[in-house]
Amino acid sequence: MKKYILTFIIGVITCSIQQVSAQEVNNRKEEKEFRLPGKLTIGGYGEAVFTREFYSDNVYRYSQPGKYKDDPSHGKFDIPHAVINIGYDFGKGWSMGTEIEFEHGGTGTAYEKEYEESGEWEQEVEKGGEVELEQFWLQKSFSRALNIRVGHIVVPVGGLNNAHEPLNFFTVYRPEGEYTILPSTWHQTGISLWGRLKDWRYEIQFLPGLNAMHFTRDGWIHKGAMTTLEFEVANKYASMIRIDNYSIKGLRMGISGYYGHSIDNALTRDANGKASQLKGAVAIGTFDFTYNDHNWIVRGNFDYGHVGDAVNIYNLPGRQTKTSPYSKDHVGKNALAYGIEAGYDIFSQINSLASNHKKLYVFGRYEYYDSYIPNLNSQPEYPYTDRSRIVGGLNFYPIPQIAVKGEYSYRILKSQYNNEPSISLGIVYQGFFTR
């Protein structure tokens, strides 16, 4: 089945894709509710990558770093994401949008090594497996300034969730810091109110709360929006706000905030239990920007978050049983991620290449993140979660909607651990197949 799916996707890319730049793709995503009645839109994006990692992949490499210092390198091929978007404008302000994502070529189940459980193999079965419906919404547009969207929607907290398509970052994989601590792509069923007023864009969302049972040491709230059920539990609720400004030519700046409760947001509630007395309040604040002008692209982000009652999450009923599907980790009370990347198009200085829309960006990226900042009075320390990453590489665009990426990455950990270098190559696309 996977063979036929991938063959179909490659055929569509090869035969049908239009010459649409990444910036135009984003503009068309945002403005599609203003199309003519009856307009069908089909698009998508995808990535195929290869990585060689020059460090140990043993599950004990952080608890016994000296033992695994000289382990051999290892490599992998992967298809992180292959996505099909379908949209339709019914007319009179009504439109719909869907996004179906195939992650890692998956079909619903996968085996994973659980690092927090001494490397035990587990078969993961998620809602829809690794074929996910990431968006499915209906929208009523009253004007550019006022639109209401209801259904399964992207939650644009942070720069990555706001622009998660592969032409919106230079690295082969999604930026590591934000991807580690936040759900990505963060999508939930809820209600969104959004619009554009001159140089300002706003969005407000009402959502189900996250599930603290899925919070982890290595990923903070990354798995908090996941559900293994046929529905999202909504005992607790959350809200999100995002504001972007476009006043300066070539520059977009955005802030976002999130607040919601996460404890006692799982199936079956015990009104007399400990969980009913706790909130697990999740509060997140972010800033991100993109500058794209004068042959430069510069992007940056800063994300900081706090989880209330983090100490108590570890001992919530159900987290420590042998048959539990939930995490057994301690959860940090705070998490942090920030990064900046910059690339220059050297083909812009060669007229014959620039006139044919070919680009070659030489880029560098630095990021820092920590998924587990504990309460030192009552939680153990795990210093390996505190890390930096330096990346350098190239992005070659033979046509505006396809990029070939190459990078060298060096992940820097605390002095008692081994640093983690790697090289990665990838080819990505992002575009519309219809106009």
Mean pLDDT of 272-297: 93
- CATH classification at residue 215: 2.40.160.10
The predicted pLDDT at position 15 comes to 38
Mean pLDDT of 404-408: 98
pLDDT in tens, 171-212: 999 999 999 999 999 999 999 999 999 999 999 999 999 999
Residue 125 pLDDT > 70:
no
Determine the Cα–Cα distance for residues 301 and 168; give it in Å rounded to an integer. 13
Determine the Cα–Cα distance for residues 239 and 155; give it in Å rounded to an integer. 10
pLDDT in tens, 227-250: 877 788 899 999 999 999 999 999
Residue 434 pLDDT > 50:
yes
Q: Is the peptide bond before 7 cis (omega within 30 degrees of 0)?
A: no
Mean pLDDT of 372-399: 96
**Number of domain units in the chain:** 1
Asked if 253 and 289 count as a contact pair (C-beta separation under 8 A), the reply is: yes
What burial class does residue 265 get, using C-beta atoms within 10 Å of its C-beta: 0-12 exposed, 13-18 middle, 19+ buried? Answer: buried
The predicted pLDDT at position 18 comes to 42
pLDDT in tens, 140-163: 999 999 999 999 999 999 999 999
Query: What is the token pair recorded at 48?
Result: 């195929």
The predicted pLDDT at position 29 comes to 55
Determine the Cα–Cα distance for residues 152 and 139; give it in Å rounded to an integer. 11
Residue 268 pLDDT > 90:
no
Percent of the chain with pLDDT over 70: 85
Residue 371 pLDDT > 90:
yes
Mean pLDDT of 378-387: 96
Q: Note if the pTM is more than 0.85.
A: yes
Domain that holds residue 331: 2-432
Determine the Cα–Cα distance for residues 239 and 209; give it in Å rounded to an integer. 8
The predicted pLDDT at position 110 comes to 54
pLDDT band at 28, cuts 50/70/90? low
Mean pLDDT of 108-113: 56
Separation of CA 216 from chain center: 17
Residue 325 pLDDT > 60:
yes
Determine the Cα–Cα distance for residues 74 and 312; give it in Å rounded to an integer. 38
Which residue has 């942070």 as its token pair? 158
Q: SS3 string of 243-264? A: EEECCCCCEEEEEEEEEEECCC
Tally of CB atoms within 10 A around 31 = 11
Residue 380 pLDDT > 80:
yes
Give just the sign of the alpha carbon dihedral 434, 137, 427, 296: positive
The predicted pLDDT at position 229 comes to 76
Mean pLDDT (the chain, rounded):
88
Residue 122 pLDDT > 70:
no
pLDDT band at 1, cuts 50/70/90? very low
